[in-house]
């Protein structure tokens, strides 16, 4: 529901960002008595951003691995429908970060690559998570649509000109499929 990066344009430079609208990864849950449980996920998203200025530009791609650890409470309202709430902490780690920079000097273009872009603030951050949804049980398949909010402590990216930064507030609509 929210973009991974927030990008703006200025007078002499601009950033554009693309966040894939899907998150994918495994989940595991330990079910405890009285509707309680503990859930852990490993969620992956791909992102990219481009920077441009009068002297050249850059293209940056990478992935972000999110590891939420959640306490979960499930209500047993109906035999096949179970509303739930969850909350806990999450860690986010960037991976595969690559930036290709093109500079134009005296009409000639040169390129270089780095895994440490100037906009990178930190490659690991943590935050707190709250969410809620409904689990539907159909035979052995469990389908669990969920709205989840994460507040991150630090931004992964912060450009010195203020035109690019990571969103600290993350809203997601997730659908879990478990057996």
CATH number reported for the structural domain that contains residue 144 in this entry: 2.40.160
Structure tokens belonging to residue 175: 């659908």
Return the pLDDT at 21: 82
Distance CA 18, CA 3 (A): 8
Q: Are 129 and 89 in contact (CB under 8 A)?
A: yes
Phi, psi dihedrals of residue 29, rounded to the nearest 5°: -135, 135
Which pTM was predicted?
A: 0.91
What averages of pLDDT result for each successive group of 10 residues across the chain (179 residues)?
91 90 94 97 96 91 97 91 97 97 84 94 98 94 97 96 95 94
Which domain, by its residues, includes 169? 5-178
- Are the C-beta atoms of residues 136 and 117 closer than 8 Å to each other? no
- d(CA 154, CA 148) in angstroms, rounded, equals 19
Count of residues in the chain: 179
Q: Count up the domains in the chain and report the number.
A: 1
């Amino acid at each position: 529901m929210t973009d991974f990066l927030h990008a703006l344009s200025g007078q002499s430079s601009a950033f554009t960002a693309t966040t894939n609208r899907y998150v994918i990864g495994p989940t595991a849950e330990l079910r405890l008595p009285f509707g309680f449980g503990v859930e852990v996920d490993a969620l992956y998203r791909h992102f990219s951003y481009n920077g441009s200025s009068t002297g050249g530009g850059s293209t940056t791609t990478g992935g972000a691995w999110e590891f939420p650890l959640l306490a979960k409470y499930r209500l047993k309202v109906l035999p096949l429908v179970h509303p739930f709430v969850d909350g806990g902490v999450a860690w986010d780690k960037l991976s595969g970060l690559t930036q290709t920079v093109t500079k134009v000097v005296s009409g000639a273009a040169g390129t270089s690559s780095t895994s440490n872009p100037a906009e990178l603030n930190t490659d690991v951050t943590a935050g707190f998570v709250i969410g809620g949804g409904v689990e539907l049980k159909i035979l052995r398949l469990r389908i669990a649509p969920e709205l989840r909010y994460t507040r991150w402590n630090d931004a992964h990216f912060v450009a010195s000109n203020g035109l690019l930064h990571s969103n600290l507030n993350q809203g997601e609509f997730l659908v879990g499929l478990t057996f």
